[in-house]
Structures are given as C-alpha cells and as structure tokens.
Amino acid sequence: MARAPLPEDTPVIAYAKVCKTYGEGATRFQALTDVDLEIRRGEFVAIMGPSGSGKSTAMNIMGCLDTLTSGSYRFFGTPVESLSQDQCALLRRNYIGFVFQGFNLLRRTSAQENVELPLVYRGQRPVERAQLAQAALAEVGLKGWEHHTSAELSGGQQQRVAIARAIVTEPALLLADEPTGNLDTHRSDEIMQLLVRLNQDRGITVVMVTHETDMAAYADRILHFVDGRLVSDTPTDGIRSLAQNSGGQ
Ligand SMILES: Nc1ncnc2c1ncn2[C@@H]1O[C@H](COP(=O)(O)OP(=O)(O)OP(=O)(O)O)[C@@H](O)[C@H]1O
Ligand SMILES: [Mg+2]
C-alpha cells in the first residue's frame, strides 16, 4: 500500500495543448481544444463556463476518468497517456478524491460504510478502516452520524459523507464537479468552507467545477471555459483571503 512520495515542486496538473473529441464522422464533437494549464500544489482552483463548455470533460481527464485525444497531461510530472488502465486505477485510488453533484452514496448503507469503501478497495484491515472512516466523518462535522444510512441524511450531510469518503485515503488532489449544485445557499456555503479548510489545513489541492460565482469566490483562481477553450485564468482575492485575514478563528 506504500505510495511513492510526490515531487514537491512539480505541478499537480500540467496540460499541454489538450484536445478531446467525442464520436466520429457526423457526430464528431470537439469538447476541448488546445487547453494549456498548470495547477500547483496547495492551490484551490474553480472551473467555470457555460453548460457544454467542457468543464466536466477537463475535470474527468484530470481524474483519469477519461482520456485525451491529443496533447499531453502530466500528473505530478508523469505523462498520464503512458499509463495502462491498471496504473490509472492505482493513480486514482492513491492520489485523487472525487466529489460529485449527486453525492453518489450507497443509500441503504451507513455513512461509515460508505466512507470505508475506498479503503476496502485498498485492502485495508477492518479495524483500521473503521478508525479512519470515523476520523474522516469527524473531520467533516459528522461525529455521531456514523451509523445513519445516507437515506436518513440531509443533502448537505450527504455531501459531507461524500467528502469524507473522498479524503479518507488522504488524496493529494480533490476533484469536485458542481459539489453544491444540489444544495441551497446556506448548505453550499458550509460545504465551501469545508473545502477551504481541507485545502488550507490539510494542503489538499482542490479543483472544483461550479456555475455559481459566489462559490467560485472561495477559490484562489478561476479558470473560465467557453466552447472547449480556456479563455481566462484569473486570481481571486475574495472570501478566502478574508478568511485568512480574520485571525484563524
Ligand atoms: N461521452 C460523451 N460523448 C459524446 N459527447 C460528449 C460526451 N461527454 C461530453 N460530451 C459533449 O462534450 C461537450 C462538453 O461536455 P461537458 O460535460 O464537459 O460540459 P460541461 O461544461 O461540464 O457542461 P455542464 O455545465 O452542463 O455540466 C458537450 O457538448 C457534451 O455534449
Ligand atoms: Mg459538467
């Protein structure tokens, strides 16, 4: 289960002229065109853009859930194109956590068992799994909720369980595709504060797709996609810097 140490100074994500084409012939569609970008360790980056602009495609390639058509993607310096399917699966399992809009939890299964699942895939022993899952649930504010099934939890709580499941393996990179898309404003702010805390305290690099400007303001940089192209890459100095300046409350 040993993981190779990751190089400190190498970008977590480096895209060079990444293109993605879906389908063939008349149904051919170019979802990404010549995307160059770099995301460094410890950054919190938001991806914005209209529906169909390629945000999820760009994120799925980052998470090795999809492959690029041309160009290159280096994850901590390793060209992902050169990896076999098994190596990609290991890379995901060891280094990346995923959070989705729809939470993707097993509904009749307890919060703790949901969070333990990635550790089951890793072959970790039951006692250790339980301890790590309980610690991850406590970290997202769900101490005492371990044995509730996800069907018994609110949307905000379910997303917390999903975040606990994503961080229980101590990933270097957390990818979140519209994590607040199903939540009201209050719950969305709570989830964003949790992501900021994981980014600042645990040093997890976070990349998040969102349609909401208010949520993107929690990031320290916004990448904007239009028609499959990265059209702007802008630093923010909003809520996050306010939180940093408020004296560690
Ligand atoms: N598996 C696929 N097969 C064919 N076309 C696809 C596939 N996945 C995505 N596309 C197309 O690629 C384009 C970009 O899709 P993508 O899901 O990346 O957009 P998005 O920016 O995430 O949009 P949304 O905000 O609606 O989630 C869309 O036009 C979509 O129809
Ligand atoms: Mg999408």
Which amino acid, one-letter code, is at 233? D
First to last CA, the chain: 36
Distance 122 CA to ligand 1 centre (A): 31
Tokens found for residue 139? 């970290």
Residue 139 within a domain? no
pLDDT digits (tens, 9 = 90+) for 90-146: 999 999 999 999 989 999 999 999 999 999 988 999 999 999 999 999 999 999 999
Residue 131 within a domain? no
Cβ atoms of 161 and 150 closer than 8 Å: yes
Specify the pLDDT at position 5: 78
Longest dimension (CA), the chain: 58
Assign 1 a pLDDT band (cuts: 50, 70, 90): very low
Lowest mean pLDDT among 77-81, 143-147, 198-202, 235-239: 235-239
Q: How high does pLDDT run on average in the chain?
A: 93
For residue 38, list its beta bridge partners: 14
Ligand 1, atom 25, residue with closest C-alpha: 51
Atom of ligand 1 nearest to the CA of 57: 18
pLDDT digits (tens, 9 = 90+) for 200-218: 999 999 999 999 999 999 9
> For residue 247, is pLDDT > 50?
no
Distance 79 CA to ligand 2 centre (A): 24
Residue 7 within a domain? no
pTM: 0.93
d(CA 225, CA 47): 7
Residue 220 within a domain? yes
Residue of 29, 32, 66 to test ligand 1 pocket, by largest number of atoms within 8 Å of CB: 29
> For residue 173, is pLDDT > 50?
yes
Specify the pLDDT at position 249: 38
Domain region containing 83: 13-109+154-246
d(CA 77, CA 54): 23
Residue 146 within a domain? no
Calculate what percentage of the chain has a pLDDT beyond 70. 94
Residue of 57, 61, 182, 224 to test ligand 1 pocket, by largest number of atoms within 8 Å of CB: 57
Specify the pLDDT at position 248: 41
Atom of ligand 1 nearest to the CA of 27: 4
d(CA 67, CA 182): 27
Cβ atoms of 186 and 153 closer than 8 Å: no
d(CA 35, CA 13): 12
> For residue 88, is pLDDT > 60?
yes
Residue 132 within a domain? no
Q: For tokens 């290991």, what's the residue?
A: 90
Q: Which-ligand-closest: CA of 229?
A: 1
Return the CATH number at 47. 3.40.50.300
Assign 243 a pLDDT band (cuts: 50, 70, 90): low
Distance 131 CA to ligand 2 centre (A): 34
Residue 195 within a domain? yes
Counted domains in the chain: 1
Q: What is the 3-state secondary structure (H, E, C) of the chain?
A: CCCCCCCCCCCCEEEEEEEEEECCHHHCEEEEEEEEEEECCCCEEEEECCCCCCHHHHHHHHCCCCCCCEEEEEECCEEHHHCCHHHHHHHHHHHEEEEECCCCCCCCCEHHHHHHHHHHHCCCCHHHHHHHHHHHHHHCCCCCCCCCEHHHCCHHHHHHHHHHHHHCCCCCEEEEECCCCCCCHHHHHHHHHHHHHHHHHHCCEEEEECCCHHHHCCCCEEEEEECCEEEEEEECCCHHHHHHHCCCC
> For residue 23, is pLDDT > 50?
yes
In the sheet that holds 13-22, the strands lie side by side as 29-39, 13-22, 70-75, 78-79
Residue 48 within a domain? yes
d(CA 192, CA 205): 14
